[in-house]
Structure 1
Amino acid sequence: MQHVHRITRLSALALGITGALAFGQVQASGFQLKENSVKSMGSAFAGSGVKTGDSSVVVNNPATMTQFEGTTVQADVTVIDLSYEFTGGGQDITGRPLTGGDGGNAGDVTPVPAMSVVHKFGNGIALGAMVSAPFGLKTEYDRDWVGRYYAATSDVKIVDFTTSIAIDVVPEHLSVGLGLIYSNADVTLSKAVDFGSALFLQTPAAGRGALPAFARPQGSDGFAEVSGDDTGVGYILGVNFRPTDKLSLGLSYRSEIDYDLTGDVDWTVPTAARATFDGRGARALFQDGDVTAKLTTPSITTVAANYEFTERFSMGLTYSETGWESLREVRIDFVNPDADSVEDFSWSDTRFMSIGGEYKLNDAWTVRAGYAYDETPTTFATRTPRLPDEDRKWYSLGATWQLSEALGINLAYTRIEPDTPQIGIITPAAQGGQRLFGQFEGGADLYGISAQYKF
């Protein structure tokens, strides 16, 4: 029974399916997506929480909704073209180089849609609703790449439906807002599993020399895919203060949201490895079955300002802090075998700072530009191939084409340049003993288009 217990623990801990939830993306801090407004993206989201011509304030700062007139409907789509490639290598527990290539281009082209509506009543009250994707990613490496034991495919979708209300406390000067968030998280993540190392570690050292090839490190690669989903509820608070006709100041807070993901794990085990495990009395191991995991998305506190120098020219600033300290660990509970797996993250809170401006050329055209600096929550000690994340710089351009008083089209482009992320992972010997060292090169191009209609 003791021998079977050791293998059972190995299935959850040594083979490291926990790492499947170490997800991230290069175009925003951690796996955060800021792309809920094409108009705001054109100025790197500078002052986005107090912009009266952008109905994404439903989620960026609901208090600003009282500055609208009538009904505004807005539809946005941002296409994220993410690209990054790995250079490096690794070793298995015996010191042999890890086989496989560089994984190819792990990025993908992903559209991020959003839709919002704001209606202002005549009594100083405004209502709004918005569908947006505040967190998510989609990346994929070649299944036989050198880092396959740490990451293969990552597909995370978090979609919010937010309803907000705002009211003027001091007309023309001060308004407050509140939003309720109903959120759905859907996660599918996969990685290769080194069953050869599992068998190697379960064999006494004296007998390892006689092991067949499939029972040695990298000799029996399998695969594991974890998927799960859940819904959660959160809230947004906002304040909009207008001390003068030219200056607007905003403060908003988005709460953490907790998810209890439930789903299943799909194991692919090579025939020879399966027969060996079964022969050792561990028939319950690596069976497809149920899993649960807890996930908490971080809180976000944002300060925004906008100043109208003239009727044609204005500038905005944004400073926000994302509370990534909420992601202290990821714990996956396997129903079969009865064990859980824990990976420490210890991410740090991050800061996002942007400055941008816009200039009205004429009644038909307005142009804008912006720059932002966005920090990563990771460090070298906590960075994995699923999150080859580093501090990054944003360079943004945008324009609005006003076809009529009611209809406008917005265009935007952003180039995001991260610093060079480096990784150095040393897996404990009892958990497989692999090592992976290297760096990533890449970035992201964001293309956006939106339409806004007022009536």
Structure 2
Amino acid sequence: MKHSSAVLFKASLVAVSVAAASSAYSAGFALNDHSATASGTALAGAAASTADISFSYWNPALFTNAKETTFYVSGAYVMPSMDVTVNSATDAAAFGGSDISGDGASGDSVNNTLVPSFYFAKPLSDKTVAGISLNVPFGLSGDDDQDWAGRFHATETAVQDIALSFALAHRVNDWASVGASVQVHKAEIVLESAVGSSNSNAGGEGIGRIEAEDTAVGYSFGAMLEPVKGTRVGLGYRSEIDFDFEGDVKYSGVSQLLNGVLQNNRMYQLIDTDISDSVTMPSVITLSFEHELSKKLTLGLSAIRTGWSSLDGLDIDFESDQPNSELTFGFEDQWMYSAGLTYAYSEKLTLRTGIAMDNSPANDEYRSARTPDGDRKWLSVGATYDFNDMTSATFAFTHVKIKDVSVNRTSLDEDDARGTLQTDYSSSANVISVAMNMAF
């Protein structure tokens, strides 16, 4: 059998790369609300829009949207809902494989989250713009009760990746712009789950908690072309981010009986120790199209490819004399498609709407309590009001419907030390975004 501390890592550290259980907004664990303006059209035209500098997240060439010093601040309040029905759960075979007691369902396993974004642009000349932005590309916040039936798979998960970007964008001529950025990413994780057995005669159970962090560097580049006046095509690329997480695991409530676990004729201890693991966050390619159907109405289209296959799995290394813990993700590269309309209702008011299909990277074989991810459909509306030539405010609302999925963890070898779990998930999310754009 496998060491009980390995259970914690295999069941909990997967949250480093999957926030679906706690971030119902975007497929996988990406956070896509980096602009209230873009959210109004469900990201349609995200790499080709001339609306404002917030679109530089998907294409750094769009910092050329700034004709003067500009500041844009946006915030998205994500309100997810997840109903979790536990059909069955058992201890690991090493502890008898008995039914786990606890709440059969955990309906409040996701938390409301605020996702901020900041952009600053300073023209260096008529054609060149310097930009700085702060975003949260990946993140989640989730908390399950410590007595729910799936507690050996997860009790608490928190992941946050903050990226500070430094960009340069250049207007080559009247119909072409290019740009690039360097990003500094600071990622932190907090992961917790039960360890041991629900059977007190087999040693009982305790709690293991992981805290780890790392700083890494990434980059982006992009181009926007307007070959015909009113028709724009944009392409942006954000690189993979290689994190080497370092941190520690701390245990509480672990009995002396549980603290000695036999594996391969060797005795291992559930002791506080340092851990490390290398995780590669996915790259993102955004291809967008915008066409002005009339002076007032603009059509936007986007196709966004996220390279989820870079997350092939985990190989957690323990500094103490404990075996590594491995977990397969089985993620697949996926696309998000969106279409939207922007309508200039008046000189001061602009209206937006959009729809999107966001495909999940998870598959049925490896879907777990940490990856109950399903395909998503977005429906968005939004508006911008120009107070004057220097200041405007933007609002957007997005409803996200997630396909119902089931977790069936009954036959994978990697669950030998974690036990079985069969659950059904029904999820959705509402997102309210607001932004202020100021030029001076």
TM-score, normalization: structure 1?
0.89
After superposition, give the CA deviation of every residue in 1:314-347 in whole Å (9 maximum; x if it has no partner).
1111101100110001111111134311111121
Tell me the number of residue pairs that the alignment of Structure 1 and Structure 2 aligns.
Answer: 426
Residue by residue over 1:233-275, the C-alpha shift from the partner in whole angstroms, topping out at 9 and shown as x without a partner, is: 0110101111011101001111101011111101124335257
Q: Which moved more, 1:23-32 or 1:157-166?
A: 23-32
1:215 to 168, 179, 201: 201
Larger radius of gyration, structure 1 or 2? 1
Aligned with 1:65 (options 57, 63, 82): 63
SS state at 1:267 partner: strand
CA distance in 2, matches of 1:373, 1:246: 26
Q: Which residue of 2 aligns with 1:356?
A: 340
Match of 1:239 among 205, 216, 223: 223
Larger relative helix fraction: 1
Partner of 1:96: 98
Stretch deviating more after TM superposition (335-344 or 158-167):
335-344
Q: Which amino acid aligns with 1:168?
A: R
Cα 1:433–1:186 shift into 2, 3 Å: closer
Map of 2:128 onto structure 1: 125
Name the CA distance, whole Å, in 1 between partners of 2:241 and 2:352: 33
Describe the shift of the 1:126–1:34 C-alpha distance in structure 2 as closer, same or farther (beyond 3 A): same
Q: Distance in 1 between matches of 2:183 and 2:123?
A: 20
Question: What whole-Å deviation, never above 9, does each CA across 1:117-172 have from its counterpart, x for those lacking one?
Answer: 12234341111110000101111111111111111111000000011111123x11
Shift of 1:286: 1.2
Distance 1:429-1:160 versus aligned 2 partners, 3 A rule:
closer
Q: Give 1:27 shift.
A: 1.2
Select which of 333, 355, 360 maps to 2:317.
333
Does 2:5 align with 1:20? no
Give 1:49 shift.
1.5
Q: Among residues 415, 427, 437, which one is paired with 1:452 in the alignment?
A: 437
State the Cα RMSD in Å. 2.0
User: What is the CA-CA distance between 1:16 and the residue it aligns to?
Assistant: 4.4
The code of the aligned residue for 1:143 comes to Q
Partner of 1:400: 384
Q: Check whether the contact 1:214–1:272 (CA below 8 A) recurs between aligned residues.
A: no
Q: Secondary structure at the match of 1:50?
A: coil
Deviation per CA, 1:334-364: give whole Å up to 9, x if none: 1113431111112100100000011111122
Match of 1:135 among 113, 138, 149: 138
- Counting aligned pairs with the same residue, the percent is 27
Distance in 1 (CA, whole Å) between partners of 2:281 and 2:98 is 39
CA distance in 2, matches of 1:222, 1:272: 11
* Post-superposition offset of 1:224: 0.8
Structure 2: which 5+ runs fail to align? none
Kindly indicate whether the alpha-carbon contact (under 8 Å) linking 2:52 and 2:65 is maintained by their aligned counterparts in 1: no
Report the alpha carbon displacement of residue 284 of structure 1 after superposing the two structures with TM.
6.3
Residues 60, 169 of structure 2: 8 Å contact kept? yes
Letter in 2 for 1:189: L
Deviations 1:89-110 (A, max 9, x none): 2233345332111123111111
Residue 420 (1) aligns with residue 418 (2): no
* Cα distance change, pair 179–188 in 1 and its aligned pair in 2 (3 A): same
- Local SS of the residue matching 2:64: helix
Residues 12 and 192, structure 2, Cα contact 8 Å, conserved in 1 = yes
Which of residues 339, 359, 371 in structure 2 aligns to 1:387? 371
CA contact (8 A) 1:74 1:453 kept: yes
The 8 Å contact of residues 221 and 238 in structure 2, kept in 1 or not, is answered as yes
* Counterpart in the other structure of 1:208: none
- Could you tell me the TM-score, scaled by structure 2's length? 0.92
What pairs up with 1:277-356 in 2 under 5 angstroms? 285-356=269-340
* Alpha-carbon distance in 2 for matches of 1:234, 1:277: 41
